[in-house]
Amino acid sequence: MIIYQELYIIYFISALLFMISIKSLSSPQTAILGNNLGISGMTLSVLATLLVLPTRNDFGILTAGGVAAFLGILWANKIKMTNLPQMIALLNGLGGLASVLVASAELERYTIYSADLVIGIIVGSIAFSGSMIAFLKLSNKLNIFAFFIRTRHIINTCLALAILILSIEFALKANLFTAYFLILACFAFGIGITISIGGADMPIVISLLNSLSGFAASAIGFSLVNIVLIITGAIVGTSGLLLARKMTQAMNRSFLQLFFSNEKETIQNQTNEQYAKTGSPEDAAFLMQNANSIIIVPGYGMAVAGAQYALYNLMNLLETKYHVKVRFAIHPVAGRMPGHMNVLLAEAKIDYNKILSLDEINADFENTDIAYVIGANDITNPAAKSDSSSPLFGMPVLDVYKAKTVFFVKRSLNAGYSGAQNPLFFADNTLMLYGDAKDVTNEIISYL
Amino acid sequence: MTTTFLASIFILSCFIGYLIIESVTPALHSPLMSVSNAISGIVIIGALSTAAYANGFNAEEIISLLGVFFASLNIFGGFVISWRMLKLFKKRKQK
């Protein structure tokens, strides 16, 4: 059938567009083009499919798509940039869910065993339920039951076994009920493996889940013999995996540690006796206006407080009024999704030439008068270099301690997400500024 | 078309995915993830074809339409949010 051959060519063109789209996203100059190419590829393949396939229910499809388009556009326009990570997690989960639904629809028609469908179901379901948990955690709507934390390894092992048994059962005797039990077991497993992950590990989990929903689409492509699904899913899948791996490297952890590490005990008691010096915003303002150079180190606390605009004002005042050189240092895993800090600083219109990565700026802390650490903790912990008993040992950190004076904006002296106490709080050249990241920054500005 | 053929396409695509992501700057990690997330909504093609072959208004049809709905949400939400993010990066460039 010639018409199907043409559809095939269009699918291939769409897949190429997606490749160029992702490639274009590697530099700021071509990034917008990348997004547009992605939209073009999607439009092309959807339109071609609608025109070629003998759809009997155009009305249903257009309604479902139209309502989703309306809701999606409305919602994506309304959401605040600070809430981006949870929005991306949720959208990703819906993609995974769509893969599971397609697989179920196929099984409803012909209940026969096919390995690609089973893989699609397993991967898609885990991507869905895992993303939902990530979404709930990121929006602070989830409290984990202590019972689950202690027994989760046992529960997860049981669930993994159940998935294996149900898959074999389905392979031996294709039965719709088995398939639906399999989906339920995978949902539970997805919840089980993501529920105890949080904090600084979130960026890694989000990109892993993103990768899973890509691979799920690819598996569906195998069963539908659809080339655009296979290629696109594979590209999204590997790119997510690679991004996650880059981040685990930045934290000196492995994927296994991420999922199987034991619950972190908060190790605080031994150092709490030490004395941390408290500074005032007035002191900070005075030191800042007399400094030559300042490096600002933002973390998740900045995102929570929405302090990026205050930081812009601070930077602007210091540069124009006092001629201080202000720069930003971003650790690869700062925030709750990859590149989180960069987006927020961009939102506040901070010039991206001033925003430097770990490798670019780490040597400069030595010649810096003030390091202003705002809402970050573990990524500055010098124990990662010196103390082999620290849970952070081996993770590359920003050498904030080398700056002449360090200001730490924090709510308390509590340990970071890793559970490690930060010896920097008690260092001679560190002054703590207690309070909300935004309020403290605005107070400093008021003294300038 | 054999599974072997499809599998070789899959493996080659994985390799391409690996190559095109290698050089991305950390500053663009968020938009990159968001766009690739939107692109994974391509599974809508699967939902469209299962919907097309359904015999009347049955379970298969309803499940497919739900698939169309969620995949479209993923696509539209994902591209709009990426566009909003990228617009932020663009503004700074002009200054």
Residue A267: per-residue pLDDT: 45
Residue B73 included in any domain: yes
**ipTM, interface predicted TM-score of the complex:** 0.93
Averaged pLDDT, B27-37: 90
CATH number, domain of A364, equals 3.40.50.1220
| Of the partner residues A108, A220, A231, the one whose CB lies closest to the CB of residue B43 | A220
Residues in chain B: 95
Q: Do B29 and A339 touch (CB under 8 A)?
A: yes
Q: What angle do CA A351, A352, A356 make, to 5 degrees?
A: 125
Residue A236 included in any domain: yes
Residue A81: per-residue pLDDT: 82
Averaged pLDDT, B57-68: 90
Active-site hit among A116, A201, A378, A436: A378
Residue B61 included in any domain: yes
Residue B27: per-residue pLDDT: 81
Residue A380 included in any domain: yes
- Banded model confidence at residue B91, pLDDT cuts 50, 70, 90: low
Q: Domain tally for chain A?
A: 2
What amino acid occupies position A41? G
Residue A265 included in any domain: no
Residue A265: per-residue pLDDT: 43
DSSP secondary structure of A293-356:
EEEEEE-HHHHHHTTHHHHHHHHHHHHHHH--EEEEEE-TT-SSSTTHHHHHHHHTT--GGGEE
Q: Domain tally for chain B?
A: 1
Same domain, A377 and A413: yes
Q: Do B33 and A94 touch (CB under 8 A)?
A: no
CA distance B57 to A276: 69
Same domain, A239 and A315: no
Residue A13 included in any domain: no
- Banded model confidence at residue B39, pLDDT cuts 50, 70, 90: very high
CA distance A30 to A32: 6
Same domain, A144 and A234: yes
Residue B22 included in any domain: no
Contact assessment for residue A34 and residue A25, using Cβ atoms and an 8 Å cutoff: yes
Same domain, A253 and A380: no
Same domain, A337 and A216: no
Q: Which residues span the domain enclosing B67?
A: 29-94
Same domain, A186 and A242: yes
Residue B79 included in any domain: yes
Residue A68 included in any domain: no
Q: State pLDDT tens for residues A337-385.
A: 888 898 899 888 888 888 888 888 888 898 899 999 998 888 888 888 8
Q: Which residues span the domain enclosing A87?
A: 79-260
Which residue, A290, A71, A327, A129, is CA-closest to B72? Answer: A71
Question: What's the gap between Cα A306 and its chain centre?
Answer: 18
Residue B52 included in any domain: yes
Question: What's the gap between Cα A377 and its chain centre?
Answer: 18
Same domain, A248 and A318: no
Same domain, A94 and A131: yes
Same domain, A215 and A298: no
Partner A, chain B 40-79, Cβ-Cβ below 8 Å:
40-54, 56-61, 63-79
Residue A165 included in any domain: yes
* Boundary (domain end) residue, out of A225, A260, A295: A260
Residue A125: per-residue pLDDT: 96
Same domain, A102 and A198: yes
Give the mutation candidate from B4, B19, B45, B53 for the A interface (greatest A CB count, under 10 A).
B45
Residue B12 included in any domain: no
Q: Which residues of B touch A64 (CB under 8 A)?
A: 65-66, 68-69, 72
Q: Do A55 and B41 touch (CB under 8 A)?
A: no
Residue B7 included in any domain: no
- Banded model confidence at residue B28, pLDDT cuts 50, 70, 90: confident
Same domain, A217 and A297: no
The answer to whether residue B8 neighbours chain A at the CB level (below 8 Å) is: no
Q: Which residues of chain A have pLDDT under 70?
A: 1-3, 55, 143-149, 198-199, 260-274, 416-419
Residue B40 included in any domain: yes
CA distance A196 to A118: 26
Residue A3: per-residue pLDDT: 64
Between helix B44-53 and helix A202-224 the angle, nearest 10°, is: 30
| Minimal CA separation from B76 to chain A, in Å | 5
Q: Which residues of A touch B91 (CB under 8 A)?
A: 346, 349
* Boundary (domain end) residue, out of A260, A295, A328: A260
| Minimal CA separation from B8 to chain A, in Å | 10
Cross-sheet strand order for the sheet of A355-357? A355-357, A325-330, A293-298, A370-374, A405-410, A430-434
Clarify whether A378 is annotated catalytic: yes
Residue A263: per-residue pLDDT: 47
